[in-house]
Amino acid sequence: MTQHMNVESFNLDHTKVKAPFIRVADVKHLPQGDTLTKYDVRFCQPNVNHLDMKAVHSVEHSFAECVRNHSDSVIDFGPMGCQTGFYLIMVGEPDVPRIADLVEQTFRDILALDAVPAANVVQCGWGANHSLQGAKDAVSTMLRHRAEWEQVMA
Ligand SMILES: [Zn+2]
């Protein structure tokens, strides 16, 4: 690999991974004794596939809203600019199997939605740029590969 980079994922060889997967990208022990953990929730094989932007946006909204029905420890869920996955940030340091269960429950909620949460001009910065079907297709594909989520490298 090239020189060490500041950003953890810049040190990950994206040609060696096998999506979909969930991995711990970072653990931060804060000065007051709290811990935050950042998970890489990867939907698409890097540099091979990606989600279209409407699907990314609608997965972001839907997951962010639904996951909080199952956990009070969610700090953030946000898309990667490469459109191949998302970062989930949690309080504490739950292991990947627990996070995989949380992600699975949340995906099942998304499949049951009638509309993308907050997809309007009052609650979102680009309320028209959404696709509920795109989000459902993306999470359906993820769920079909549920058994593979804990294997990161090819
Ligand atoms: Zn939005």
Q: Provide the CATH number for the domain around residue 103.
A: 3.30.1360.80
Write out the binding residues for Fe cation: 57, 61, 124
Q: Give 60 Cα–ligand 1 centroid separation in angstroms.
A: 8
* Domain-located, residue 3: no
pLDDT, mean of residues 82-95: 98
- Whole-number Å distance, alpha carbon 65 to ligand 1 midpoint, is 12
User: What is the domain count for the chain?
Assistant: 1
Domain that holds residue 102: 8-148
CA 5 to ligand 1 center in whole angstroms: 30
Question: What's the pLDDT score for residue 76?
Answer: 98
Q: Determine, yes or no, domain membership for 2.
A: no
Per-residue model confidence (pLDDT) at position 71 = 98
For residue 81, being part of any structural domain is answered with yes
Within-domain flag for 71? yes
CA of 101 relative to ligand 1 center, distance in Å: 25
One-letter identity of residue 122 = V
Q: What pLDDT does 105 receive?
A: 98
Residue 1 maps to a domain:
no
Give me the percent of the chain exceeding a pLDDT of 90: 98
Residues annotated within the binding site are 57, 61, 124
- pLDDT band, residue 59 (cuts 50/70/90): very high
Residue 12's pLDDT is what? 95
Instruction: Judge whether residue 1 has pLDDT over 80.
Output: no
Residue 93 lies in a domain: yes
Predicted confidence band of residue 3 (pLDDT cuts 50, 70, 90): confident
Residue 153 lies in a domain: no
Between the CA of 56 and the centroid of ligand 1 the distance, in Å, is: 10
For residue 114, how far is its CA from the centre of ligand 1 (angstroms)? 17
Domain assignment present for residue 79? The answer is: yes
Cα(151) to centroid(ligand 1), Å: 31
pLDDT tens digits along 30-53: 999 999 999 999 999 999 999 999
Structure confidence at residue 152 (pLDDT): 97
Tokens describing residue 123: 């609650």
